[in-house]
Structure 1
Amino acid sequence: MREGPDIARIASLVGDPARANMLSALMDGGALTASELALEAGVGLPTASSHLAKLGDGGLLSQSSQGRHRYFRLAGPQVAAMLEAIMGVAETAGPKRARPGPRDASMREARVCYDHLAGEHAVAMLDGFFTRGILDQGKDGVVMGKAGPSFFAAAGIDLSTLPGKRRPVCRACLDWSVRRSHLAGSLGAAILDRILEQKWARRDAQSRAIRFTPPGRRAFERTFLA
């Protein structure tokens, strides 16, 4: 047996259509019950429970209990990043599904990717950060640029609270719909939190889409894209 990570095992877990649908349903960073995930997967509850056990054993899901219910969520941002990257490959390699409708157009524009902003707005934001020296592309990935600390302080984001979290502050995440990178890491999560706190946008109740209000879009563009 070759040394190294067992790619085939992870690929087999994600590759089952029912399990893929369950994982996709958790890409908004939320938690769902087994019954809710069974509906997402289009399978019965016993079958769903078997799939969830395999995903848990494989390290892709975590679970917690509240009262009589068990809730499942993605095991962490690394799992979400993997799924987003697979979606990017699936978008370019056939066979393709039918062309997305209006709801999917909203998803391409702005959506939640686990806990940070993805889509066209997020890709444009990261491009602008690089152009203005707010972030830089270092040899080990995305790093804070010289203009970053003052910029984020003015935007209402306290960088001093981010390094203590058990994850990178800045990380590039391949965007499946644009096929270029958006910003992940604790900084990406803080930016999305700021957008929602300011009520510039809200999460769509039926999908991962982020829907900006007209004034909110202008405020977002002034703050993060100008």
Structure 2
Amino acid sequence: MKDGPDISLIASLIGDPARANMLTALMSGKALTATELAAEAGVTPQTASTHLARLEQGGLLRFRKQGRHKYATLASADVAQLLEMLMGIAAQAGHTRSRTGPRNQALREARVCYNHLAGTRGTQIFDHLIGRGLLIEQGDDLSLSLSLTPPGQQFMRDFGIDLAALDRGRSPLCRACLDWSERRSHLAGSLGRALLSRIEDLGWARRDRDTRIVSFTPMGQRSFDALFG
């Protein structure tokens, strides 16, 4: 018997098609009921309850109770990052479940990855911040970390981001998340979440809660490109 973490358990939980569909649906960051997840997975509510119990026991999701209802969410941002990476591997290997169409292209352009912006627009933010020296990468591939430079901190404040409030939170400020469609990094962490919220508050874009697509208005596209290059 080998020592160390048992990745086969996690792989088996994600590997079931019904459970994979449930987890993917939760990538929107929205809490869903067992009935809603059953519809996403195409299974009966009873079967969905069994799958959800296994996912909870495996540490991939958690439940929140509100009134008479229980809502499922992904257990953490780490789970979302794992799913995003698996999507990238699947896409690179050609394992897709439908033909490429307008919805697929919209997802590649801009989408929600748990609670931050992904797709072409997400990597555009990351590349701009790195290119201007507002965000720097430190360490090596095994222990890579990101941090805002003083000009980067001022850039965020000017954009209306309350960095002091983010620093008081428990989540890391900056994290790199491998984008499944771009195969490059986009920005996660509490700063990534705050940037998406600010973009929505300004009316530049809105998220589709059913598909994860983030749709930019024409004005929003121009403003986004003017700020992020």
TM-score range, shorter chain: over 0.9
Q: Which residue of 2 aligns with 1:208?
A: 212
CA RMSD across the alignment: 1.2
Which residue pairs with 2:171 in the alignment? 167
Using the TM superposition, give the Cα deviation of residue 8 of structure 1 relative to its aligned residue in structure 2, in angstroms: 0.7
Q: Deviations over 1:113-138 (max 9, x none)?
A: 00000000110110111110010111
3-state SS in 2 of match to 1:123: helix
1:53-202 pair list within 5 angstroms:
53-139=53-139, 140-202=144-206
Contact 2:136/2:146, CA 8 A, preserved across alignment? yes
4+ aligned runs moved over 4 Å, structure 1? none
Contact 2:30/2:209 (<8 A) preserved: no
> Hey, what's the Cα distance between the residues in 1 that align with 2:226 and 2:6?
45
- Structure 2 vs 1, CA of residues 39 and 115 (structure 1 numbering), >3 Å: closer, same or farther? same
Supply the distance in 1 between the matched residues of 2:77 and 2:190 (Cα, whole angstroms).
10
Aligned residue pairs, count: 225
Distance (Å, rounded) in 2 between the aligned partners of 1:120 and 1:175: 9
Uncovered stretches (5+) of structure 2, i.e. residues with no partner: none
- TM-score w.r.t. the length of structure 2 is 0.95
What one-letter code is carried by the residue in structure 2 that aligns with 1:13? L
Distance across 2 between alignment mates of 1:98 and 1:25: 16
Supply the distance in 2 between the matched residues of 1:59 and 1:192 (Cα, whole angstroms).
Answer: 27
CA contact 2:109–2:119 (8 Å) conserved in 1: yes
Q: 1:95/1:103 Cα in 2 relative to 1: closer, same or farther (>3 Å)?
A: closer
Secondary structure of the structure 2 residue equivalent to 1:62:
strand
The 3-state SS of whatever aligns with 2:169 is coil
Stretches of structure 1 lacking an aligned partner (at least 5 in a row):
none
Conserved? CA contact 1:133–1:146, under 8 Å: no
Deviations 1:73-117 (A, max 9, x none): 101111100000000000012444443210111110000000000
Q: Where in structure 2 are the equivalents of 1:10-21 lying within 5 Å? A: 10-21=10-21
Separation in structure 1 between the aligned mates of residue 157 and residue 98 of structure 2, nearest angstrom: 44
Q: In structure 2, what is the Cα distance between the partners aligned to 1:32 and 1:205?
A: 11
Q: TM-score normalised to the size of structure 1? A: 0.96
SS at match of 1:112: strand
Query: Residue 217 of structure 1: CA displacement?
Result: 1.4
